[in-house]
Amino acid sequence: MMQRDSSTLHFDRIFDALDGTACLTLDALEEKSGLTRTQLARVTAKMVTAALIERRKMGCYQLTAVGQRAKRTGNIPMPVKPIRPAAPPSDSFRQRLWSVMRMSGTFMAAELVMAANWPLKQPEVEAGKYLLALKRAGYLIELPRGPRGQMRYRLSRNSGLLAPVVSSVDGSVYDPNTREAVPCAKQA
């Protein structure tokens, strides 16, 4: 008998219904296993994710080599957990600034604010605070000043899609892409 937990419930019924060579349809699996269609859909999806069975064609399932070994030994090679898709980035002023920085080569705060197009009373000030925090954390490189004396920057650490978050308490920067907190070096 196979070790059971909540994720492997009914796997033994599918294993009993499938032999190593046959490709069974959902109707045949329903008849042989005694499971309902809903139960079959859940169990077969988990087994496909764990590479225990494969879909040979639409609605037709067959044991894989891993599944044959699991059936023979009674041990499932890994816990089966659903794969959760990554959450899309939230739409915020700093997320828009980060997206524009990632697409740009060099940029100034005014260019970022114009491209981000977010209704704030003083968007240049907010963008400047964010750029300063990213510079202190090592995400930006300061370049020679622009034509009217404005600060220019280049992104030096493009860590991913999600914008780094600046802590209002200690000024550290948390990067949700790498899941690391980066302390900011105070500069005079």
- Residue 2 confidence (pLDDT): 47
- 4 occurs within a structural domain: no
- Distance, CA of 90 to CA of 79 (rounded, Å): 31
Helix 123-136 vs helix 93-103: crossing angle, to nearest 10: 60
Q: Are strands 152-155 and 140-143 parallel, antiparallel or unpaired?
A: antiparallel
Same domain, 98 and 46: no
- 41 occurs within a structural domain: yes
Phi then psi for 140, rounded to 5 degrees?
-120, 150
Q: Which amino acid is at 20?
A: G
- Residue 50 confidence (pLDDT): 79
Task: Give the N- to C-terminal CA distance of the chain in Å, as an integer.
Answer: 69
Same domain, 108 and 172: yes
The residues facing 173 across adjacent strands are 166, 182
Stated as kind and residue range, the H or E segment containing 132 is: helix 123-136
Same domain, 105 and 160: yes
- Residue 101 confidence (pLDDT): 94
Same domain, 31 and 106: no
Cα-Cα-Cα-Cα torsion 13, 19, 25, 29, nearest 10 degrees, comes to: -20
Same domain, 102 and 139: yes
Phi then psi for 168, rounded to 5 degrees?
-80, -15
Residue 126 sits in which domain range? 93-182
Claim: this prediction has a pTM higher than 0.75: no
- Distance, CA of 48 to CA of 37 (rounded, Å): 16
Residues of the chain with pLDDT under 50: 1-2, 5-7, 188
- Residue 9 confidence (pLDDT): 63
Q: Which amino acid is at 104?
A: S
Number of domains in the chain: 2
Q: Are strands 60-63 and 24-25 parallel, antiparallel or unpaired?
A: antiparallel
- 3 occurs within a structural domain: no
Residue for token pair 């879909």: 55
pLDDT, tens digit (0-9, with 9 covering 90-100), for 21-41: 778 888 888 888 888 888 888
CATH of the domain at 144: 1.10.10.10
Residue 175's region, left for phi above 0, alpha for psi from -120 to 50, else beta, is beta
- 87 occurs within a structural domain: no
* Residue 148, Cβ density class (10 Å: 0-12 exposed, 13-18 middle, ≥19 buried): exposed
Same domain, 69 and 100: no
Same domain, 119 and 59: no
Cβ 31 vs Cβ 104: under 8 Å = no
- 159 occurs within a structural domain: yes
- 20 occurs within a structural domain: yes
Same domain, 69 and 140: no
Q: What is the DSSP letter of 183?
A: P
Same domain, 175 and 138: yes
- Residue 77 confidence (pLDDT): 66
- 61 occurs within a structural domain: yes
